[in-house]
Amino acid sequence: MEVQLAHLAAGLAAAGHEVRLVSISSTEDPSERLKGPDMDPRVQIVHLGARTRWAKVAALRRLARLARSSDIVHCTGWDASLWGRLAAIAARRPAIMAEHTPGRAHQWSSGGAPRKRLIAAHNRALDPFTAATVICAEWHRELMRSEGVAARKTILIPNGVPVAELRRRAGANPTRADLGIPGSAKVIAHVARFVAQKRQDFALETTARLRETLGDVRVVFAGAGPELERVRALADERGADWAVFLGRHENPAGIFGLADLAVLPSAGEALPMAVLEAIAVGTPMVATDVGDVGTVLEDTGAGLVVPPDDPEAFYRACHDVLSDAALRERLQVAALSAGPDLDADTMVERYERVFAAVLTPNGSEPLRV
């Protein structure tokens, strides 16, 4: 979600718009893409640093001032879609919400409480004050309807990635030599946050099985999160020196570029950036059929899709790709051909059209891009 927002902000700035990214809780920039000397000066990053509920209430006045100096308030994520829309109401500015949920069952508070009912309640209450709701996955449409979001204000804009930039970075670090991986080994890449939903343990166990039949197979994990130490402990228990943990990495394209296969055995997704990034650089993928992942892989022909709770099917699909050079080549060619359709420029243009429609509303007519 944060990476998609970074691509959107950079694209809007490149198109001549002034963009201000406001982080309510975090003290970290949402993406390495927005850091460094090449950052577009029109992208301003503001950290409110409000980590508790009362701190967020106190920050609402400042957030409303920021909204008042803007034409549109675009809210991404559950917390932002609450406080951002309240600020937009106070500032009398149109608000747009972008939904990226992998499923309400995967959304919990920091204290472990389910958020499903709370999110549904605030969507139902704030939808009359929301100019548009952007969904990044088709399956979100029914979820939004069930939470009281008006269908005529709901519009699908799939996530996009900067294809040319990713392909340029695919040959950069890390290399296999950097990671101590022989050129003859088969390499699996799993790029995702370490949370239970992403199921890195599936990838670890599958790699162990693949080594029994295919020889030297390695798995490279990139990402950080609460599940990292648990999965690392599982690897240590196995003596898995064939599992590489890179932590948070600034160049996922480089990781996909060195791999023979990308995997994402998630329990829930919307339209994850890792799938689009792997397709962009031409890395074949095996993923579970959750969210819009199956649709994208089947439409592009860039990978194989398996049921979300079938470890055997996941293993077989990974085995098929790694053991069949002709299959890998077909998937790679299909992925590279599909890349331009997933480009961030297309996503940015669609958002621009939504913003224009919101600023020049046409009564009760459905939004179109």
pLDDT digit string (tens) for 167-184?
Answer: 999 988 899 999 999 999
Q: Do domains 2-160+344-359 and 163-341 have the same CATH topology?
A: yes
Q: In whole angstroms, what is the distance from residue 110 CA to residue 119 CA?
A: 15
Q: Is the pLDDT of residue 27 over 70?
A: no
Query: For the chain, how far is it from start to end, CA to CA, in angstroms?
Result: 21
- pTM exceeds 0.85 for this model: yes
pLDDT digit string (tens) for 114-140?
Answer: 889 999 999 999 999 999 999 999 999
Homologous superfamily assigned to 2-160+344-359: Glycogen Phosphorylase B; (3.40.50.2000)
Closest alpha carbon to 303 in 216, 144, 320: 320
Task: State the burial class of residue 337 (Cβ atoms within 10 Å of its Cβ: 0-12, 13-18, 19+).
Answer: middle
Asked if 220 contacts 188 with a C-beta cutoff of 8 angstroms, the reply is: yes
> What average pLDDT does this structure show over 57-75?
96
Domain limits of the chain?
2-160+344-359, 163-341
Asked if 265 contacts 199 with a C-beta cutoff of 8 angstroms, the reply is: yes
Homologous superfamily assigned to 163-341: Glycogen Phosphorylase B; (3.40.50.2000)
**Cα-flanking dihedrals φ and ψ of residue 288, to 5°?**
-85, 155
Q: Is the pLDDT of residue 221 over 90?
A: yes
| pLDDT for position 2 | 86
